[in-house]
Amino acid sequence: MDPLMPPPVRRIAVDREPTVAPPRPAANGATPGPASATTRSRSTRLAPGLVRERMRVEGLWLAYGENWVVRDVSLSVRQGEVLAMIGASGSGKTTLLRSLNRLTEVTAGAARSGTITIDAQDIHELEVNELRRRVTMVFQQPNPFPMSIFDNVAYALAERPGRGRRRRRTPELERAVGEALHRAGLYDEVGGDLDRSALRLSGGQQQRLCIARALAAEPEVLLLDEPCSALDPISTATIEDLIVDLRESVAIVIVTHNLQQAFRVADHVAFMHLGELVEYGSSEQVFDRPAKQRTRDYISGAFG
Amino acid sequence: MSATGTAAAPPDRILAAGPPGPVISGSRRERTSSWPLADRLGYWLCWVAGVGICLIALGIMVFMFVKGLSYLKLKLFVENPAPEALQAKSGGFLDPIIGTLIVAALGTAIAAPLGVAVATWLTEYRRPSWLARAVESAIEVIAGTPSVVLALFGLLIFSQGFLAFLSQRAANGNVYGRSFFAAGAVMAVLALPLIVASTREALLALPGRLREASYALGRTRATTIRRVLLPSVRPGIATGTVLGMGRIIGDTAIIKILLGVALLNEGVGHIPILSVLRGTGATLTTFVFENSPAGEGNAPQKAYAAAFVLMVMVLLLNALVTWLTTRSGGQRERRTRTWLAARMSGTRG
C-alpha cells in the first residue's frame, strides 16, 4: 500500500495483493446477470467521430452546510459515450451528478466553487429551467407522476418556450410522445393504452417511462442516478441496453453502485472516494489497468 | 385423469381435512387480575369512558330520530315559516334550508381557493420565513377564535359605509351590515383553517421526489404546483372543504349576528341573485334556536324536525369525508382527519 495515502475510512489488509481481474457477471455470484444475457459484456465503442464533448466540469467543489462533499473534481461529459460514476456511499457522486443540472440548489445550504459548462457556456449563467430541459435526470426510485402514461411524457413536452401552449392532444404532441416512448423501449409494451395510470405499470416499466419523460424534453445530457437499483435483473438488462443505444444521440452520465453495470455500459469511468475524484479514464483503463491503489481495492471488492 | 385417480388422496381432500393436530385459534388472553390495583382501575375507567361515549352518541341519535322523524312532514320542506303562535300554522323551513345552502356554498366558495393558496404558499414557498411563521400563527389564532367573536368583528367590518353595497342602508343612513354576503364571508374565515390544515398536510405527505422529478424536466415551480402537486392532493383539498362546510352548516352565532333575525329570506333591491345575497335570512341553526323553547317562536316540534334535518346533513358530510379519505387510502390522511375533526368540534360556536 502506498504509505503516502492511507485509507481514511477503513484499513485494508495489506498481506495479499488484491486480484484485479475485471468483474464478470457469470463468474461473480453476488450480482447474478439476467438469464437471457448470461454473457453480457462490455459495450463496443462508437467511432471516434461520433464522440464530442458536451459538458465540462472544472475544479468543482460542492458543500452542504459545512461539509465539502465534492472536492476539486474535473471531468468532461461526452456525447457518444456513457460516463459511469462509481464509488462507495457518501463519495459525492450523486451530489456531483445533481450539480450538473443545478438540482443541488433545491437543497438549502448548498454551496459551490468551480465551473461547469455545457457547450462552452457556464450553466450558472443559463436560466435554471432551460438548463434542466437540456440536462434531464432520472432518479433511483421510479417516480412517475400520478397521471396517465401519455400525460407523464407530455408533461415534459408541453408549453415549451417558442412552441406555444399545447394542452390539447394535437397530432404533433401525440407523435412526440410516441417517439419518446419508442426511444425508451416502452411503446410496444404499453402502446395500446396510453391513458392508463402510470402508477399501474411495473417498476421496470415505470423507470423506462421516467427515461421516456426525460428524453421527451430532447435533452443534450441525460443524468441517471442509480436507475436500476430498485429493479429486477431483467428490467436492468433492458435499461442497460437502452443506455448503450441512447448514447449516440445524448450524452449519458450514470451513477451506479453496481460495478458490473458500470463495466457493461460505460465508456468512461470516474471513481470517486470521499468527495475526491480518485481515478478518471476510459473503461478499459480503469477496470483493466487502474493506476491508483484505491481504485484497485474498490473494483476488486476490498471495500465499499 | 388416470394420473389423479391413482393418487393416494386427491389434493383437495387433503386440504379439506385440515392439519392433523387440534386447531389452535388463539392463546389464553391476558388477565388483568395480575395487574397492580392502579392499573386495573385505570383500565376500567378507560373502558367505562369508551362505553359512556357510545351511549351518549346513541342517545342523541335515538332521541333525534324519534323526535325528529315523528314531527317531520314533507310539507315542512316546501313551506315558508310564518309568524303564527299556533304550531300548526307556523309553516315549514323552506327558507332556512335555502339559507343554509347559500351560506355553505358562499363560505366554501370563498374559503377553498384562499385556503389552498395559503397552504400552497406555506409548504412550497415559505419566503420570507418570518412571514410564513406569522401566517401560521395567524391561522392558529383564527382557528381558536370563537365564532361569536368572528361574527362581532364581521359586523363591525360590514357596517362600514364603503361596504354598503354588500348589505343595505337603513333609513337613518347607517349600514345594516347583515346579509348573506357578510355571513358567507365570515363563515369562510371559520372554514379557512380547516382547508389550510388539510391541504397542507396532504402537500407535506407528498414525496419530495415528485417535486424533484418535475424540476429535473425543466418545469418551473409554479407549473409543478399546478400540474403535479395540486392534482395529487385533490382528496386532501376535498376533505378540508367538506369539513369546513360541515362547520359552516353547524354554526349559529355568525348567523344570529350577521344574517338578521327574521326566519324569512328577504331580498334587497331588484337584481335577481344579488338581491338575495344582499338580503337577510335564516338558516336551519337559527330556525332550531328560534323555535326551541328558548327562542321566540317556541314551536319545539318544528325545532326537532329541523334539528333532525340539520344532523342528517352534517352526518352525510362526515360520511363524505370518510369516503374521500379512505378512497385515497393513506394512513396519514386518516390521521389528519381525526385531528381535524377534533379541532372542528373543539371550537364550534
Instruction: Please give the ipTM for the structure prediction.
Output: 0.78
Could B217 and A136 be called an inter-chain contact, meaning their C-beta atoms sit closer than 8 Å? yes
On average, the pLDDT of chain A sits at 82
Residue partners of B289: CB distance under 8 A and separation at least 6:
B252, B256, B295
Which pLDDT belongs to residue B12? 53
Could B215 and A133 be called an inter-chain contact, meaning their C-beta atoms sit closer than 8 Å? no
CB A12 within 8 A of CB A303: yes
Could A137 and B219 be called an inter-chain contact, meaning their C-beta atoms sit closer than 8 Å? no
Which pLDDT belongs to residue A139? 93
CB A179 within 8 A of CB B179: no
Give B-chain residues touching A165 at CB under 8 angstroms: none
| H or E segment and range at residue B188 | helix B180-205
In the beta sheet, which residues pair with residue A224?
A138, A254
Q: How far is it, in rounded angstroms, from Cα A258 to Cα A273?
A: 15
Question: How many other C-beta atoms are found inside a 10 Å radius of the C-beta of residue B161?
Answer: 9
- A106 near B CB under 8 A: yes
Cell numbers linked to A111 = 454551496
Give B-chain residues touching A131 at CB under 8 angstroms: 218
Which pLDDT belongs to residue B1? 42
Give B-chain residues touching A130 at CB under 8 angstroms: 218
Give the model confidence (pLDDT) of B187-205 as tens digits. 999 999 999 999 999 999 9
If one compares B80 and A148, the residue with the highest pLDDT of the two is: A148
**Nearest residue in chain A measured CA to CA from B124:** A106
Residue partners of A10: CB distance under 8 A and separation at least 6:
A303
- Best A100, A106, A197 member to test B by mutation, with max B CBs in 10 Å, is A106
Residue A40 pLDDT > 80, yes or no?
Answer: no
CA distances (Å), origin A164, targets A2, A157, A160, B218, B255:
60, 11, 7, 16, 49
Give B-chain residues touching A153 at CB under 8 angstroms: none
Compare CB distances from B209 to A132, A141, A159 and report the shortest one's residue. Answer: A141
Highest mean pLDDT (candidates A15-19, A102-106, B339-343): A102-106
If one compares A6 and A145, the residue with the highest pLDDT of the two is: A145
Residue A2 pLDDT > 80, yes or no?
Answer: no
Can you tell me whether residue B169 is helix, strand or coil? Answer: strand
CB A277 within 8 A of CB A73: yes
If one compares B240 and A38, the residue with the highest pLDDT of the two is: B240
Q: Which amino acid is at B257?
A: I
Residue partners of A170: CB distance under 8 A and separation at least 6:
none
State mean pLDDT over A216-222.
92
Q: Which amino acid is at A39?
A: T
Residue A21 pLDDT > 60, yes or no?
Answer: no
Can you tell me whether residue B45 is helix, strand or coil? Answer: helix
Residue A202 pLDDT > 50, yes or no?
Answer: yes
Give B-chain residues touching A152 at CB under 8 angstroms: none
Between positions 193 and 212 of B, the ones with CB within 8 A of A are 207, 209-212
Could B217 and A132 be called an inter-chain contact, meaning their C-beta atoms sit closer than 8 Å? yes
State mean pLDDT over A181-202.
87
Could B215 and A155 be called an inter-chain contact, meaning their C-beta atoms sit closer than 8 Å? no
Cell numbers linked to B8 = 393416494
Half-sphere exposure of B166 (CA within 13 A, CB side): 21
- A132 near B CB under 8 A: yes
Residue partners of B341: CB distance under 8 A and separation at least 6:
B243, B318
Give A-chain residues touching B207 at CB under 8 angstroms: 143
Which pLDDT belongs to residue B271? 81
Residue A181 pLDDT > 70, yes or no?
Answer: yes
Could B218 and A136 be called an inter-chain contact, meaning their C-beta atoms sit closer than 8 Å? yes
Q: Rounded to the nearest 10 degrees, how much is the dihedral formed by the CA atoms of B201, B207, B211, B213? A: -160
Could A145 and B215 be called an inter-chain contact, meaning their C-beta atoms sit closer than 8 Å? no
Which pLDDT belongs to residue A5? 54
Q: How far is it, in rounded angstroms, from Cα A143 to Cα B168?
A: 55
- Best B125, B129, B217, B226 member to test A by mutation, with max A CBs in 10 Å, is B217
Give the model confidence (pLDDT) of B5-32 as tens digits. 444 445 555 555 666 777 666 667 777 7
Between positions 251 and 290 of A, the ones with CB within 8 A of B are none
**Nearest residue in chain A measured CA to CA from B230:** A146
Residue A224 pLDDT > 50, yes or no?
Answer: yes
Between positions 194 and 223 of A, the ones with CB within 8 A of B are 210, 213-214, 217, 223
- B84 near A CB under 8 A: no
Give B-chain residues touching A133 at CB under 8 angstroms: 217-218
If one compares A146 and A25, the residue with the highest pLDDT of the two is: A146
Write b or e for each residue in B168-195: b if 16 or more Cβ atoms lie within 10 A of its Cβ, otherwise e.
beeeeeebbbbbbbbbbbbbbbbbbbbb
Compare CB distances from B212 to A103, A133, A155 and report the shortest one's residue. Answer: A103
Write b or e for each residue in B91-121: b if 16 or more Cβ atoms lie within 10 A of its Cβ, otherwise e.
bbbbbbbbbbebbbebbbebbbebbbebbbb
pLDDT band at A15 (very low <50, low <70, confident <90, very high): very low
Could A210 and B213 be called an inter-chain contact, meaning their C-beta atoms sit closer than 8 Å? yes
Residue A75 pLDDT > 70, yes or no?
Answer: yes
Which pLDDT belongs to residue B347? 41
Give A-chain residues touching B328 at CB under 8 angstroms: none
Size of interface A-B (CB pairs under 8 A): 60
Residue A27 pLDDT > 60, yes or no?
Answer: no
Q: How far is it, in rounded angstroms, from Cα B151 to Cα B182?
A: 9
Could A103 and B215 be called an inter-chain contact, meaning their C-beta atoms sit closer than 8 Å? yes
Compare CB distances from A101 to B209, B216, B232 and report the shortest one's residue. Answer: B216
By CB atoms closer than 10 A (0-12, 13-18, 19+), residue B297 is buried
Which percentage of chain A shows pLDDT scores above 90? 45
How far apart, in Å, do the first and last CA atoms of chain B sit? 75
* CA distance to partner chain A, nearest, from residue B219 (Å): 6
- A61 near B CB under 8 A: no
Compare CB distances from B217 to A141, A147, A214 and report the shortest one's residue. Answer: A214
CB A102 within 8 A of CB A124: yes
- A147 near B CB under 8 A: yes
Could A159 and B215 be called an inter-chain contact, meaning their C-beta atoms sit closer than 8 Å? no
Of the candidate ranges A74-83, A190-199, B76-85, B243-252, the one whose mean pLDDT is the lowest: B76-85
- A102 near B CB under 8 A: no
If one compares B51 and A65, the residue with the highest pLDDT of the two is: B51
What residue ranges of chain B have pLDDT lower than 50? 1-9, 329-334, 344-349
* CA distance to partner chain B, nearest, from residue A206 (Å): 13
Provide the sign of the torsion angle of the four alpha carbons A181, A182, A186, A191, taken in this order: positive
Can you tell me whether residue B294 is helix, strand or coil? Answer: coil
Which pLDDT belongs to residue A269? 94
Cell numbers linked to B94 = 323552506
